[in-house]
Amino acid sequence: MTSGGTESNNTALYGIASQKKGKHIITSSIEHDAILEPCKHLERESYKVSYLPVDKYGLIDPEDLRKELSHDTCLVTVMFANNEVGTIQPIKELARIAHEKNAIFHTDAVQAVGKVAIDVKGFGVDLLSISSHKINGPKGVGALYIKKGVKISPLLLGGGQESGLRSGTENVANMAGFGMACKLARDNLDQNISHFKKLTNRLVSRVINEIQGTTLNGHPEKRIPNNVHFTFLGVSGEDLIIKLDENKIAASTGSACSVRIQRPSHVLKAMGFSHEQITGSLRLTVGTTNTEQEIDDTVEVLKKVVKELRTVSPYKSKYNF
């Protein structure tokens, strides 16, 4: 167990890098900061890090991974599903290619667990990060799956808890809560996926058809079922979030996990979006307790506030909405 997805990802990266089996790491240009920041730190420690590009849907071309691999590659880490646009990567193929050069393959599956079926053996991953609160469990607890036989070094040293991989007193209450959340997510997976798709299909259909100048971002099919990401041309996403919050609707323009000052999404930049497209972006996600009525209410609020914001937009003269 760990304290969450960030610790799981850091443990995977540093735990493999410190094994001294190579000084080359491959990741993608659209990873969460819990991967990108450790990679930047490792670069300062003389590791080479390659950042794979993505297409306009946020998808990696597996051949790009094959081109970057070398006998010095110790780790490939690619997120299962993107936390902003929801695109799902071809994890099974990427893991297979990584293993061709005997590299360890890690995936940050924080956004994917509970939204899609995940079989670590079937996908062939060596390490996989998950977080409790993403499946309605307690905050402050997560886990790192480690394939039998994969050796990693611990971040924390001390009393040798967690088989020597994470010393310190275990957070037993949260671990138990996380375990129950995993059981419920597994037992209700098909039902939840069906519910998510019903709501997001309704949301996407209504928004695209009823709000002019709107696009759905990410892959139209290869995406987690609870995520939708829109661009509203001529609108500031930050202003839109404020208006939505006033109407008791929670949304974000990028990663909901960051406490830093807002900056343009590195994910959308990597996907080739213009500054205007990035500025007008909005992410909405649905949960197990959301209803069709809430979707309809959200669309009505969006229609009203997008129209209002476009009347004062600096791009007003550019479009004829």
As separate numbers, helices (DSSP H) first and strands (DSSP E) second, the chain gives 11, 9
Three-state DSSP class for residue 230: strand
**Overall size of the chain counted in residues:** 321
Which residues are paired to 116 by β-bridges? 113
Angle at 278 (CA atoms; ends 272, 284), nearest 5 degrees = 115
- Catalytic residue flag (residue 39): no
Tell me, what DSSP letter sits at residue 316?
A: G
Chain centroid to CA 294? 24
| 5 touches 130 (CB < 8 A) | yes
Active-site residue identified among 39, 74, 182, 257: 257
Residues whose CB falls within 8 Å of the CB of residue 59, separated by 6 or more in sequence, listed in order: 87, 89, 90, 219, 222
Looking at the annotation, which residues are catalytic? 257
